[in-house]
Amino acid sequence: MDKSTLLLSVDFTAAEKLGSIHDGLDGRPVVDWAKGERPDSLVGVKYALVWEFDHDLFDRMPDLEVIFSAGAGVDKVLSNPALPKDIPIVRFVDHSLTTRMSEWICMQCLNHLRQQKHYDAAQKKAVWADAPQPQASDVTVGIMGLGVLGQDSAKKLKALGFNVLGWSRTQKEIDGVVCYDESELDVFLSKTNYLVGLLPLTAGTTAIFNRENFTKLAKHPVLPSPIFINGGRGKSQVETDIVSCLEDGTLGGVSLDVFESEPLPGGSPLWHFENAYIFPHVAANSDVKSLGAYVDGQIKRYENGEGLENLVDLKLGY
């Protein structure tokens, strides 16, 4: 049987240096919208894999049955005013992406614990400058968002020796991690030295990383802290608050992969803080080959009547 066509509306330019989406698609035909392919009609195309896309794209697809998000987060897809109602949206959940995010989170916690900025600055000046060296077990990392990414990061941070707490909308049970639910934010914050954001962007998580919450965090007796690390979404943070909290010492440092507006404008003061690590939304890029195989696998499941996995709950918004 011929494979059904997949419409692609994702710019893979950077990611394709490591492989091609086609490597994972098992010969499935595609219409590569992002590369300018414009067939006379999209009638009969049932599947679309999207990240950046024209608002009217779905209007051209009368037979669309499933939308696949090329990333784990779906806020961009859901914000499309022309999103067709009642069409299932599947987000990207895959070991490759999860591992990349956990690597980034662990790296940022270690950068702050091991005071990497101090040593980088000393090296630049050719100065032999020792600094106090607490252990991971002296620091409590609190993760906001205990989904696929938060849970994997929690496990890997535990393995490195950090104390780990977690906070999520509904109560979780994770071995060795003290978990708090939505109603227990203040107690969670009061025990946290390094605050990690791994939340989806929804009405409930917009601007949640703000001065009021940063002031509730626990200070470490020796290390610069509290530290704020965000790998979730930029609109969950209030950047004017982050700047003023770095200025007055409410925050001792940050690692930010996501921003209220991306790319982060050249004029943002965030670029210039001594203890700020700034990344261009690269904590966990989707691996194109894995993404292709994932989408192809989900389409096969769907067509065999086995049901789609990792469906977005449209009411919750993630």
Catalytic residue positions, numbered: 233, 281
Least separation in angstroms between CB 239 and ligand OXD: 18
| DSSP-assigned letter for residue 1 | -
**Alpha carbon distance 54, 83 (integer Å):** 11
* CB closer to ligand OXD, 259 vs 277: 259
Residues that bind ligand NDP (CB under 6 A): 71-73, 97, 101, 145-150, 168-170, 182, 198-202, 204-205, 231-233, 257-258, 281, 283-284, 318
Phi, psi of 33 (to 5 degrees): -65, -40
* CB closer to ligand NDP, 45 vs 199: 199
Among 102, 237, 286, 298, interactor with ligand OXD by CB under 6 A: 286
Least separation in angstroms between CB 167 and ligand NDP: 6
Q: Is 72 in the site for ligand OXD (CB under 6 A)?
A: yes
Distances (CA, A) of 219 to 12, 115, 171, 177: 42, 16, 26, 20
Place of tokens 């195989």: 293
Q: Is 71 in the site for ligand OXD (CB under 6 A)?
A: yes
Please name the residues in contact with 248: beta carbons below 8 A apart, sequence gap of 6 or more.
none
What letter represents residue 2's amino acid?
D
Nearest-CB residue for ligand NDP: 147
Q: Residue 118: name its binding partner from ligand OXD, ligand NDP, none (Cβ under 5 to 8 Å by kind).
A: none
**Pairing between strand 66-69 and 47-50?**
parallel
**Alpha carbon distance 105, 231 (integer Å):** 8
**Alpha carbon distance 73, 294 (integer Å):** 16
Q: Residue 66: name its binding partner from ligand OXD, ligand NDP, none (Cβ under 5 to 8 Å by kind).
A: none
User: Where along the sequence are the contacts to ligand OXD (CB under 6 A)?
Assistant: 71-73, 284-286
